Amino acid sequence: MAGWLTRSLLSLSPQEASFARRGFPGRESASRAHLEQILCTFIEGYNLALRTPDSEALARRLDSAFSAISVGFAYEGAGLWYALSDLLLPRSESRLRQFLASPASRHDFIASVGAGFALARAPFGLRRMKSYQAKLDPMSSWCLADGYGFHQGFFHWERFVGHCEAPPPSLDLQSRALFDAGVGRSMWWVFGASPIPIATAISRFETHRRAEMWTGIGTALSYAGGVPASFLPLLLDLAGPYRPDLISGIPFSAHMRHKGGNPSDWTDQVCQQCVGLTTAATSALIVNELQAYLNSWTGSEQEKWDGCYLALRSRVKQALAACHSGASDALAAASLTSGESNVHSN
C-alpha cells in the first residue's frame, strides 16, 4: 500500500512534456516533436526509478529500454527521483550519491542536473541546497544549481524567461552563474530551438547574465540537438560577442556523451563544425582543464569546489580560442553546402 501511494502521489505524467500544456512560444516549431520526446524520456526515467527500488536493476532497465542517444535523459530523470527521495526522507547516506558512485557513474553529470529539479519540488529544497550538496561528490554536485535553473526556466518560463526574474539571492556567485546557464538551456525548449527568438529573449536580460545563458544554449544545442545543420552558422552569428560562450558549452555536453558511452551523430557534427575537433577530443578539453585546475589549486578545499565551475569554464573558453580557425573554415563550408530542411535527432 505504501509503495502504491508513493507511486500515485509522486509519479509524473507524460502530459508534463507537452509544449501546449506549458504554453511555450515554440509550440509551432518543427523541432517540437523531437524536444517533447526528450522530455518524455526524462519522465520515463524518473518513473522507472520510482518503481525500481534496486539501483543496479534500475541501471540495467534504463540501459536496455532506451537508445544510446536518449538514455542520458532517462538517467537525468532518475537523478530527480533519487534527489527527491533524499530530500523527502533524509538518511545519513545519500541515495543519489550511492546511485552515482556505481550503476550511474558514467552518467553522473546529467543525473546530477536532473537532481537539481528536486530543489524546486521538495519542501525548503533550495534552502537545503548547500547542506545537501555537501553529502554528494563535489565533482558533480555543482550541477544541481544548473538543473534548478532549468526547472525554473521550463516550468515558470513566464517569470524566469519572459520577465527575466533574477536568481534567488541565497545562491552564491557560482550557483547564480549555473542557474543562468540552466535558464538559458531551458530556452531551447521554450522557443522550440528557434535561434532568433532565443537570441531575442537573451538580449532582454541584464548584460552580466547573458554569457552563461549562451553557454546553456551551447550545451543544449550539442547534447539535445533538434535543428538542421544549416542553423549552426545562424545561431553562432546571433550570439554575437557571446559566441565564445556558446561554443564553451559544447565541451560539457561532449564530455557527458563521451563518458556516458552514448554517442550521437549530432554531437559529433556540432563538435566538428563549431569547435573543429572530434567529440572525444572536445571532451578531453574538459578533462584536461579540470585536472590542470585541481593540480594548481592552493587554497582551501571548500573554496576549490565553490569556484570550480567558474574556473573550468574560463579555462575551457581560453583553450577553445585555439580551435576557432579550423572550426570557422568548417562552418563556412557547412553554411554553403547544407540545404537540409529535416530536423536532426540528437
Residue 340 has pLDDT above 70, yes or no: no
Q: What is the pLDDT of residues 239-286, one digit of tens each?
A: 999 999 999 999 999 999 999 999 999 999 999 999 999 999 999 999
DSSP 30-46: TTHHHHHHHHHHHHHHH
Reduced to 3 states (helix: H, G, I; strand: E, B; else coil), residue 9 is helix
Q: Please choose, from the candidates 211, 206, 143, 153, the residue with its C-alpha nearest in 3D space to the C-alpha of residue 178.
A: 143
Asked if 86 and 116 count as a contact pair (C-beta separation under 8 A), the reply is: no
Average pLDDT over residues 224-245: 96
One-letter-per-residue 3-state SS of 57-107: HHHHHHHHHCCCCCHHHHHHHHHHHHHHHHHHCCCCCCHHHHHHHCCCHHH
Long-range contacts of 327-330 (CB under 8 A, 24+ apart): 327/247, 327/273, 327/274, 327/275, 327/276, 329/276, 330/272, 330/273, 330/276
Percentage helix, strand, coil for the chain under 3-state DSSP, each rounded to 5: 75, 0, 25
How confident is the model at residue 322, as a pLDDT? 76
Between 330 and 12, residue with greater pLDDT: 12
pTM: 0.92
- Span 40-84, pLDDT tens digits: 999 999 999 999 999 999 999 999 999 999 999 999 999 999 999
- pLDDT tens for residues 16-49? 999 999 999 999 999 999 999 999 999 999 999 9
What pLDDT shows up at residue 341? 38
Distance separating alpha carbons of residues 63 and 34, to the nearest angstrom: 20
Angle 325-329-331 from CA coordinates, rounded to 5° = 110
Residue 4 — pLDDT band, cuts 50, 70, 90?
A: very low
Return the SS3 of 298: coil
List Cα–Cα distances, 319 to 66, 98, 327, in angstroms.
Answer: 34, 34, 13
Output the pLDDT for position 343.
41
Q: Tell me, what's the pLDDT at 321?
A: 86
- Cα–Cα nearest to 148, from 185, 111, 113: 113
Asked if residues 150 and 179 have their Cβ atoms less than 8 Å apart, the reply is no
Residue entry with cell 529539479: 117
CB distance 183 to 215 below 8 Å: no
Is residue 251 within 8 A of residue 279, CB to CB? The reply is: no
Listed residue (314, 191, 31) closest to 202, CA to CA: 191
Taking residue 1's Cβ as centre, other Cβ atoms within 10 Å add up to 5
